[in-house]
Amino acid sequence: MMVSVAMITYGHEHYIEEAINGVLMQQCNFEVELIIADDCSPDHTKQIVNRIISTHPKGAWIKYTRHKKNLGIARNFAWSMLEGKGKYIAICEGDDYWTDPLKLQKQVDFLNANPNYMMACHSSNEVDANGNVFKIATRKDKVIDLSIVLKQGWFIRTASMLFRKETLENGFPPFFFDAYSTDYILQVMILKKGICKYFPEVMSAYRRHDGGVSGATPNIQFNRWSDKLKLLDKIDQFCDLKYKKEIDIQKADIKMSIVLYLLKYPYLVKVVGVDGYLGHIFSMHFFKLISLKLKKKLKF
* pLDDT attached to residue 227: 86
Average pLDDT over residues 264-278: 60
Q: What CA–CA distance (Å, rounded) separates 33 from 84?
A: 8
Please indicate whether residue 86 or residue 285 has the higher confidence score (pLDDT).
86
The pLDDT, as a whole number, for residue 7 is 99
Confidence band of 79 (pLDDT split at 50, 70, 90): very high
Query: Residue 36 pairs with which residues in a beta bridge?
Result: 7, 64
pLDDT over 70, % of the chain: 85
Sign of CA dihedral 140, 146, 149, 152: negative
Q: Is the model's pLDDT at 233 over the cut of 50?
A: yes
Which fold does the domain 3-207 belong to in CATH?
A: Spore Coat Polysaccharide Biosynthesis Protein SpsA; Chain A (3.90.550)
Amino acid 288: pLDDT: 58
User: Contact 44/70 with Cβ under 8 angstroms?
Assistant: no
Nearest to 158 by CA among 208, 116, 195, 114: 208
At residue 297 the predicted structure's pLDDT band, cuts being 50, 70 and 90, is: very low
Q: Which of 7-21, 56-70, 75-89, 257-271 has the lowest mean pLDDT?
A: 257-271
> Does residue 226 register a pLDDT over 90?
no
Q: State the pairing for strand pair 117-127/162-164.
A: antiparallel
Tens digit of each residue's pLDDT (9 = 90 or more) over 111-124 = 999 999 999 999 99
SS3 per residue for the chain: CCEEEEEEECCCCCCHHHHHHHHHCCCCCCCEEEEEEECCCCCCHHHHHHHHHHHCCCHHHEEEEECCCCCCHHHHHHHHHHHCCCCEEEECCCCCEECCCCHHHHHHHHHHHCCCEEEEEEEEEEECCCCCEEEEECCCCCEECHHHHHHHCCCCCHHHCEEEHHHHCCCCCHHHHHCCCHHHHHHHHHHCCCEEEEEEEEEEEEECCCCCCCCCCHHHHHHHHHHHHHHHHHHHHHCCCCCHHHHHHHHHHHHHHHHHHHHHCCHHHHHHCCCCHHHHHHHHHHHHHHHHHHCCCCCC
The rounded mean pLDDT for the chain is 88
The 10s digit of each residue's pLDDT in 125-172 is 999 888 888 877 778 789 999 999 999 988 999 999 999 999 999 999
Could you tell me if residue 72 is left (phi over 0), alpha (psi between -120 and 50 degrees) or otherwise beta? Answer: left
pLDDT at position 294, please? 47
